[in-house]
Amino acid sequence: MPRTPSRHRREPRSSRGENRLPPAAAVVVAAVAYAGLPESLLVGPRLAIPVVEIALLAALLVTNPRRLVRQTRWSRAVSIVLACLVIATNLVALGMLVASLSASDRGGMPLLVAGMQVWLTNVIGFGLLFWEIDRGGPVARQTVTRDRLPPADWRFSQDENQDAVREVAAGSSISTNWRPHFVDYLYVSLTNSSAFSPTDTMPLSPRAKCLMGLEATAALLTSLLVVARAVGALGSGG
């Protein structure tokens, strides 16, 4: 009798959960980048927002200090609030930066540095939010069987390359039970902020499309207005 293909649904290969270090480090980088912005672009005292972000991160570390294996309603809510806080405060900083361009007396280098800080925080914030909302969140993605996962918000290349040549299909979701990690969502955020559109990972849900559209718009404003103005000021000796 013909052999049956071994492309069946598998249980997660490990119940250890995703490593907490990469997303935690990303939050710290975002907090430091925000704290380094010029005073005129900050919401409240310089360390107010970074302290809140680190406090929220510390609360999440108590629940999952090394691996993301436990999830409660409050931890899920805190995770999403933290990502939204990074995004919201950064968008406010971007708005104030754009509004101050016409009357700005800053030189080109301070503008360029501020623009890059805003762009970097934009990438991290949206990467965190993508990671938190897709397929039920990081804990569910790694510990729940596929038939119990919520519908996906993003389609990764691994989700559709099972019919490619053998060496490519070997890494597909069907063959290896691959699940996206934080670095995958950070890459999606990075490419979306660089190309101002999806690249190899496509948004599927309306909320995913809205979030990617908002991120791309913020990145476009940063690149076209802030960075272009800064480069122009540098070129003119400002």
> What confidence score (pLDDT) does residue 233 get?
62
Tell whether 205 is covered by a domain: yes
- Per the domain annotation, does 212 fall within a domain? yes
The reply to whether 171 falls in a domain is yes
Q: Do the domain assignments include residue 118?
A: yes
DSSP state, residue 30? H
Tell me the one-letter amino acid at 154.
Answer: W
Domain count of the fold of the chain: 1
Does residue 133 lie in a domain region?
yes
- Tell me the sheet residues that pair with 18: 68
The answer to whether residues 192 and 215 touch, using CB atoms and an 8 Å cutoff, is: yes
pTM: 0.88
Is 8 domain-assigned? no
Rounded to whole angstroms, how far apart are CA atoms 31 and 25? 10
- Is position 13 within any domain? no
- Asked if residue 29 is part of any domain, the answer here is yes
- Tokens 């070129």 locate to 235
Alpha helices by DSSP H, listed for the chain, are: 21-35, 48-63, 73-99, 108-133, 138-143, 166-169, 173-176, 182-195, 206-221, 228-235
Q: pLDDT tens digits, residue range 182-204?
A: 999 999 999 999 999 899 999 99
User: Residue 190 to residues 29, 127, 141, 180, 205: CA-CA distances in angstroms?
Assistant: 15, 8, 21, 15, 19
Query: Which residue range is the domain that position 51 belongs to?
Result: 18-235
Distance (Å, rounded) from C-alpha 112 to C-alpha 117?
9
pLDDT for the residue 19: 94
- Give the chain's residues under pLDDT 50: 1-14
